[in-house]
Amino acid sequence: MIKILDFLQTLLDATFLILLACVPAHRILRNIRSYVEPQIAYNEELEALRAPLESFARAHVKAVREAGEDKKKKPVVDWRRRRKQAHEQTGLLLGLYQLEELVL
């Protein structure tokens, strides 16, 4: 909707005086105003919320950025070691039973 308002503002800025001189265009201008005024009021209400919510938005961006950095700093483990550990863990746990090693 913001892009539509920007386009409409540019269009009206360029042709407003011509449209005012043309009497049939007055009805169209009133229709445009009836569509645009509620959106402008809505945007003003949202702008009033910007200041109280801005600190939360900054904290969210910071948390997302730090989470991404943590993933990058994660140490790389050799795929063979991970496969061996996974194989050992699945070998030790057998559902409700646990495999015990008996040495004679």
pLDDT at 82: 82
Give me the torsion for CA of 37, 2, 58, 50, rounded to 10°.
Answer: -10
What is the reported pTM?
A: 0.43
At 88, phi and psi to the nearest 5? -65, -40
At 78, phi and psi to the nearest 5? -60, 140
pLDDT at 27: 92
The residue ranges of every structural domain in the chain are 2-93
DSSP string over 33-102: HHHHHHHHHHHHHHHHHHHHHHHHHHHHHHHHHHHHHHHHHSPPPPHHHHHHHHHHHHHHEETTEE----
pLDDT at 51: 82
Task: List the chain pLDDT tens, one digit each, 104 residues.
Answer: 678 878 888 988 899 889 889 999 999 889 988 988 898 888 888 888 888 888 888 888 998 888 877 666 556 667 788 888 877 776 655 555 555 666 66
